[in-house]
A and B are shown apart, each in its own frame.
Chain A
C-alpha cells in the first residue's frame, strides 16, 4: 500500500500522541496512587508530567535537533542525556511531594496513620520499599520516554513538511475567526476552573478535576444561555424582560445544577462533601428519609451554587459587552477608513478638475497655432522694427519653455537661466530699457540640473509687486553656484501704488514643489520689510 508523505506524517504524529498517552497511563499505574482510582487521581503530578514532556520536546526540537544535523553527534547526545537526567530529577522531586500529599488523601478517610495500629506500621514499612521499586521503574520509563522524545523531535525537525504544517496550522488559526473564538472560549473556561480552585491551589491541596469538569457542564449551558438570550434582550433595550429572564435563568440553572450534583454524588462520581460537609451538630442528613435527604442536599448545595452562578451570568454580560465594543470598534474603523477613502476620492476629483481645466487651457493655446502665429508676426516684424522682432522672438521662447516643462524631470540649469534672461530682457523691451535690474551670476552653471520654472517664480513676483524704476533701489537678482549649493536671491523695492492682486498661490505652490523635489535639502527665506521684499533660496543641487 502506498501512502503519501503528508498522510504518513499525520499517521506518525497521531501514533506518537497515542503512544505518549499510553505511556502516561502505564506510568501512572506504577505510581503509588493508581491511575484508575478516580477519586484520588493526582491532579498535580499528571499535568506536571505532561508539561515536562512538552518542555523536553520543545527544547529538543528548537536547540538540540539542529546540533544533530550541523554539529558533532557527541554534543547532541551529551546535551540530550543531561537534559533527560535534569528533567527526571525534577519529576522525582515532584513525585515525592505528591506522594506525601497523596498519603494525606489516602489516609484522610478515617485511616490516619497510627503507629500503634499494627496494620498501619506494616503499611508504613512496606511503603518505603514500594516507593523505591516504583521510583526505579519511573526513572527507567522516563529515561526511555525522553530518549524517544529526543529522537522523535530530531526526526520531526528534519521533516520540512512537518515544520511547514506547524506554521500552516498557526496561519489557519490566525485567519479563521470561528477557530479563534472557540480557542479563547476554551481558554476562558480553563481559567475559570483555576480561579474557582485558587484557594485550594494556594493551600497546596488538590483540585478534584473530575468533579470540577462534571459540575462545569451546567455552568457552561447557563453562560451561553444567558449570553444568547438575556444579554440580547438588554442589547435591544428590553430592560425588564432582560432582568426577568436573567433571574429565571439564574434560579433555574442553579436548581438544575444542584439536582445534577446530588444525582452525581449519589452515583458516587463526586464526593458528597464537595460543597463542604452538610453534617450539622443538630441534624444530620442521615436522620431524614431518602427522599427528604435528597431535598436537603439539593438545598444545601444550592446555597453554594446560587452565588457562583451569579458570576457566570455577570461574566456572560461582560463578555457580551466586550464583544460588542470590539464589534463597534471594527465598525468605527471601517467607517473611518471609508470616510478617508471618500476624502481622498474627493481630493482626487478636485485635482482632476484642476488638471482638466489646465488641459483645456493648454488645448486652447494649441502650440502649433501659437508658434506658427508668432513666427508669422516675427516674419512681418523683421523688416519693420528690431525691437518688435526681438520681442516676438523672446516671447515665443518664453512661451515655449513654459509649455515644455512638466514637474517630474529636472532641466539644465543653463536653460532655466536662459529663461530668466529672456523674461528680464522682454520686460526691458516693454519698458523701453528704463527698468533698473541688476542680474549677476557667480560660478559655473554648466552640467547642473534644477527643477524647472522654479527661479522664474521669484523674478515674476518682483515684476508683479516691485518698484523697478528707482535707480537707487534696483531689482537685484543674484545667483551663485558652488560645487554643492545654489544660492538665489531676489530683492526688490515695494511698489506704493496699485498692485496686482496677490493670490498667494505662487509662493505656497513653490514651497510644495520644493518639498517634493528637494526634500530636506533646501531652504527658503522670505524677508518682508516695509520698503523691500527679499527672497533667499538655497538648494543643494
Chain B
C-alpha cells in the first residue's frame, strides 16, 4: 500500500518533534518535511507531492485557518492546537481531524486511520469477492413505502426512528419525515431486526443512530429524542450491549 506523505507545520520545535516521533512510529505515514513557518510550507506544497498536513492553528505569520484557505482543498489537513475554541470553525473548513496538544499517541493513530479510510473511499473499488458479497447483502437495504400517493424509497441507513400514530406511522429519516398508512407491527416486520428495535409502544429506533440515553429518552440526534418504554428498557440495553461487544470484537 502506498504510504501517505505528510508535512508538519508548527511554530514550536517541541510540537514538531512529537509529531515527527509519532509519524516514524506509524508505518502507513511518511514524513516529507517539517516547517516552523507556514510560508515555507506553502512552497513545499506547490513543489512536492504531499497528501496530508499536520497544521498548527496559532502561528505568527499566518494562522492555520487562513492557511487552509490558501490550500483550496489540494491537501488533506489535520489541525493541531493547544485549546479547542476553534474546533467548530475547523470543521467548517472540512479538515479531516482535530488534535489537541499534547496529543496522545492513540489519538494520533485514530486520526491517521481516518485519513487512510478517506483515501480508500476516494479510490475506485475493485469488485473483490468480499465486496461482491457485501453488495449481495445490501440488496435488501431499503423498502418502498406509499406516501402522499407516491411510492417512496426509504434506505434503512437513513432512518432515525419510526413513530406510530394509530393507523399511520411517521418514518423520521435524516432527510425528513414520511407519513404512511401502516401499523407499527407491519413496519417492525419489514425492518431488519439487527438494525431496528421497538423501544416504546409507538417508537421503533435505529440502533445505529442512538447517540446517548438520558432517563427514559433515547437521543438519536443532539436534540431529537424518542421515549423508552418501561417494558422495552431491559431488552433495549441488552441489545445495545450485544452490539457493542460485536463491534469491539470486530475492531
Chain A residues at the B interface, C-beta cutoff of 8 Å? 367-368, 370-372, 374-376, 378-380, 382, 392-393, 396-397, 400, 404, 410, 412, 444, 446-449, 482-484, 540-541
Contact = CB atoms under 8 A, between A and B. Distances in A.
B21 A375 contact: no
Contacts of B102: 371, 374-375, 378-379, 392-393, 396
Contacts of A447: 210-213, 240
What range describes how many residues of B lie at the interface?
20 to 34
B215 A379 contact: no
A448 B212 contact: yes
B93 to A, nearest CB: 20
Given A372-B101, A375-B14, A375-B18, A484 B83 contact: no
Nearest to A374: B102
Given A392-B102, A393-B102, A397-B104, A376 B213 contact: no
Interface centre among B14, B15, B211, B240 (most CB of A within 10 A): B14
A41 B241 CA distance: 94
Interface stretch (B115-123, B124-132, B152-160, B229-237): B229-237
A444 B21 CA distance: 35
Contacts of A375: 12, 14-15, 18, 82, 101-102
Interface centre among B84, B102, B214, B241 (most CB of A within 10 A): B102
Contacts of A376: 12, 14-15
Interface in B203-236: 210-215, 233-234, 236
B29 interface: no
Contacts of A370: 82
Contacts of A410: 214
Nearest to B17: A379
B100 interface: yes
B79 to A, nearest CB: 14
A382 B17 contact: yes
A446 B244 contact: yes
B58 interface: yes
A126 B16 CA distance: 129
Given A393-B104, A444-B241, 5 more contacts: A379-B17, A446-B241, A448-B212, A540-B215, A541-B215
Given A368-B82, A371-B82, A444-B240, A379 B14 contact: yes
B214 A449 contact: yes
Contacts of A397: 104
A369 to B, nearest CB: 8
A541 B240 contact: no
A449 B21 CA distance: 36
Nearest to B84: A404
B212 A372 contact: no
A540 B214 CA distance: 9
A378 B18 contact: yes
Contacts, number: 76
B101 A371 contact: yes
A371 B233 CA distance: 42
Q: Interface SS of chain A: helix, strand, loop or mixed?
A: helix
Interface string B85-113: 00000000000000011101000000000
Contacts of A372: 12, 82, 101
B100 A446 contact: no
Among B211, B212, B215, the one with the most A-chain Cβ atoms within 10 Å of its Cβ is B212
Nearest to B21: A382
A307 to B, nearest CB: 75
A371 to B, nearest CB: 4
A404 to B, nearest CB: 8
A397 B82 CA distance: 11
Closest 6 CB pairs of A and B: A379-B14, A371-B82, A483-B237, A378-B102, A375-B101, A367-B83
B28 to A, nearest CB: 21
Nearest to B83: A367
Interface string B5-30: 00000001111011001000000000
Contacts of B15: 375-376, 379
A371 B215 contact: no
Contact of B236 (A368, A449, A483): A483
A82 to B, nearest CB: 47
Query: Which of A379, A393, A400, A444 has the largest count of B CB atoms less than 10 A from its CB?
Result: A379
A189 B47 CA distance: 105
Contacts of B18: 375, 378-379, 382
A541 B214 contact: yes
Contacts of B237: 444, 482-483
Contacts of B82: 367-368, 370-372, 375
A483 B210 contact: no
29 contacts: A370-B82, A371-B82, A371-B100, A372-B82, A374-B101, A374-B102, A375-B15, A375-B102, A378-B102, A379-B17, A380-B14, A382-B18, A393-B104, A396-B102, A404-B84, A410-B214, A412-B212, A444-B237, A444-B241, A444-B244, A446-B240, A446-B244, A447-B240, A448-B212, A448-B213, A449-B213, A483-B236, A541-B213, A541-B214
Contacts of A396: 102
A449 B241 CA distance: 16
A100 B10 CA distance: 116
User: Which of A372, A374, A382, A396 has the most C-beta atoms of chain B within 10 angstroms of its own C-beta?
Assistant: A372
B104 A371 contact: no
Contacts of B214: 410, 449, 541
Nearest to A448: B213
Contacts of A392: 102
Nearest to B242: A444
Contacts of B13: 379
Contacts of A448: 212-213
A186 B212 CA distance: 68
Contacts of B213: 447-449, 541
